Structure 1
């Protein structure tokens, strides 16, 4: 039985400056091999996954707010293709039991993982990201097994949630359910990950639990309305959930290594009030280490304005367009037009692919310093680290819309 305890750090070593520098140099070498930038994204297809009948609603009234979700992703050593590295959330799709899922069905996101699921028939949506701890590779463990399994269990827990038994499913509770399940999965020997988990309710409240250096941004009308702060023990040492085998725990104890037992209760929890036209981003450090919040705001604002979702008012401000609902469902958000028939693209998928495309390009850029480079220069100025950080990249984007009848009642 493995010990439920976090490894000492992302590399399972705290304060080991020599090893940290070696890892940085190794990553720099890998980055030089990936200098070919990815192609610009084109219009994106819908998911081809099958659907089940619409869920029955527990209330006769329609939900006030809806969450339109898409994700984009790419493993660090793979070229990015926005046409295939994209996921479109369909709330009517069934969530398969985690034990029935095959590795071959995982998205090409490397050690990063994500999930999106409706919370039974409550009208709420659960979503989040997890970044597998790469240091487990040294112990012969695939870090993706923990992060992907963890997300699968959270998706299943949300999908199967019974409000009558537990009416208040919070983001932290969902993280705990997923963590308990992955730790009790006997097919998993060891592993660990960060986690940023959220539940969006039909009344427009968002509950977020963030543990580690993945995170989220809440964007509203050309402004960063809220964002999470990374949780770290030291440089490149984020909070993380882990499953440590007794053999490794014993070796660490023998050499005086510290064990960091980060748990879901250690996650930063926050609540947010959402409005029609808000954009939510949940991302791993592959995004956040390469793009500043202002970079992400510029990308989202450009897409929202170019698509016509956010428009400039006569008074000089910015407001949500009446066409938002059509954009999040099936519209031509890119504004592209050609003679060839194209499958529709959603606004949320366009935002997600633009973010991942920019993060991928920044990760292999050796000239422009990103957030990670700034941190290296702060803690290890002798390294002369420049540019981005090659890493797995994952972004989950949700565009929030309010029911049309409720919008009319406000006019």
Structure 2
């Protein structure tokens, strides 16, 4: 990412222009809009039915795109400080590039895999499914010494993952936005762990993390949790996630941008976007589905077909989520270094009137989660 900036009049207008991507199968959308006052300014509910021509069982996606008033913040909240490199939390929570949090230890591995289950905490609400997650991170070659500007976490106790991308434009001011992204993810993980069992509110958690984050810089944010109802996600900016089912790219979160290469972002001066600008999704899932979350270094360089192709090959080969994440990240970096082959980034640049070809070299974070039956539910 190259551009950072302040809040503009674009904020809040993206919601009405959601477009669902037509992927491998026919698509029909039935939209209803409702408003309610339960602490929200507006709640827009969209029911989208995807007809998979190759499979009789339709998928029902429910989006809750939410504009939320600024929530409360705990005045005694923990404030972490950014640190470089990759980290592990505990057998139940794994974090890469986070700020300091109790239980965090340093690890220089690029890939992490998490296979613990919710039985690690007997007080945890049991859900019928679980996430088996793995991650892989490739920093921009020029930023490898500082660990790059991406951050992510995985936590089995809360069945949640998150990714963030520090906005590179801050480097022009001598600021490493990776510190902001790492602290934001650290605080997001802590806030999620403080949520009531069985009634997690990701907007509230992101808002608490945003208030606590004091490092200079700005960042996108994408957090996904598995609940009894399915996937529950919030996304702000051009990081995001997609869902692969039966070898098909079933859904992909839309990017939020004020303009080309100018994503929605949370920033240290409260002058950018706010958590209330995030899009909120609730998506029904089933065992065998594969969730892929990543920063724009992934989605700028690989088309949906590329990603689902790697997932399909990896699953058929019996590979775990960490190896799948690695394969996706390495392919994305290969495309990023190709000056000729078309990429989603070059397509967007040309649509915006720029003469650009090839991929975009960037930090690349990929988190892959296999959705499985939870034997302990």
TM-score range relative to shorter protein = 0.5 to 0.7
> Secondary structure of 2:321's partner?
helix
**What CA distance in whole angstroms lies between the structure 2 residues aligned with 1:126 and 1:146?**
20
**What CA distance in whole angstroms lies between the structure 2 residues aligned with 1:66 and 1:224?**
20
CA 1:262–1:277 in 2, change beyond 3 Å: closer, same or farther? same
Q: Is the 8 A contact 1:204 1:275 kept in 2?
A: no
- Tell me the TM-score normalised to structure 2 length: 0.66
1:379 to 335, 346, 352: 352
User: Match of 2:280?
Assistant: 269
Structure 2 residue 153 is the aligned partner of structure 1 residue 115: yes
Look at both structures and tell me which one has the larger radius of gyration over its CA atoms.
1
- Tell me the TM-score normalised to structure 1 length: 0.61
Name whichever structure is richer in strand by fraction: 2
Residue deviations 1:153-198 (CA, integer Å, cap 9, x gap) = 11122234343xxx6222222211211111xx4xx2x210011111
**What CA distance in whole angstroms lies between the structure 2 residues aligned with 1:295 and 1:142?**
31
User: Match of 2:176?
Assistant: 142
**What CA distance in whole angstroms lies between the structure 2 residues aligned with 1:352 and 1:79?**
21
Shift of 1:11: 3.8
Shift of 1:204: 5.3
Aligned residues: 274
Residue deviations 1:31-88 (CA, integer Å, cap 9, x gap) = xxxxxxxxxxxxx998699x9x9633237x95411111111011111699xxxxxxxx
Q: Is the 8 A contact 1:10 1:133 kept in 2?
A: yes
Give runs of ≥4 in structure 1 deviating > 6 Å. none
User: Match of 1:22?
Assistant: none
User: Match of 1:357?
Assistant: 330
Name whichever structure is richer in helix by fraction: 1
* Structure 2: runs of 5 or more not aligned: 9-108
Q: Is the 8 A contact 1:118 1:158 kept in 2?
A: no
Shift of 1:364: 0.2
2:361 to 381, 385, 390: 390
Q: Is the 8 A contact 2:244 2:251 kept in 1?
A: yes
**What CA distance in whole angstroms lies between the structure 1 residues aligned with 2:339 and 2:111?**
34
Flag the structure with more relative contact order, 1 or 2, with Cα contacts below 8 A and sequence separation at least 6. 1
Shift of 1:397: 0.8
Shift of 1:403: 3.3
Shift of 1:146: 0.3
> Secondary structure of 1:300's partner?
helix
Q: Is the 8 A contact 1:172 1:197 kept in 2?
A: no
User: Match of 1:66?
Assistant: 130
CA 1:139–1:357 in 2, change beyond 3 Å: closer, same or farther? same
User: Match of 2:219?
Assistant: 193
1:176 to 207, 226, 241: 207
User: Match of 1:305?
Assistant: 316
Q: Is the 8 A contact 2:240 2:295 kept in 1?
A: yes
Q: Is the 8 A contact 1:109 1:394 kept in 2?
A: no
CA 1:204–1:69 in 2, change beyond 3 Å: closer, same or farther? farther
Structure 2 residue 166 is the aligned partner of structure 1 residue 132: yes
CA 1:118–1:158 in 2, change beyond 3 Å: closer, same or farther? farther
Shift of 1:244: 2.4
User: Match of 2:51?
Assistant: none
**What CA distance in whole angstroms lies between the structure 1 residues aligned with 2:330 and 2:156?**
27
**What CA distance in whole angstroms lies between the structure 1 residues aligned with 2:268 and 2:373?**
41
Q: Is the 8 A contact 1:72 1:356 kept in 2?
A: yes
* Structure 1: runs of 5 or more not aligned: 1-8, 16-43, 81-103, 246-258, 308-332, 334-346, 407-411
> Secondary structure of 2:317's partner?
helix
Residue deviations 1:276-326 (CA, integer Å, cap 9, x gap) = 11100110000000001111111111111222xxxxxxxxxxxxxxxxxxx
**What CA distance in whole angstroms lies between the structure 1 residues aligned with 2:303 and 2:275?**
26
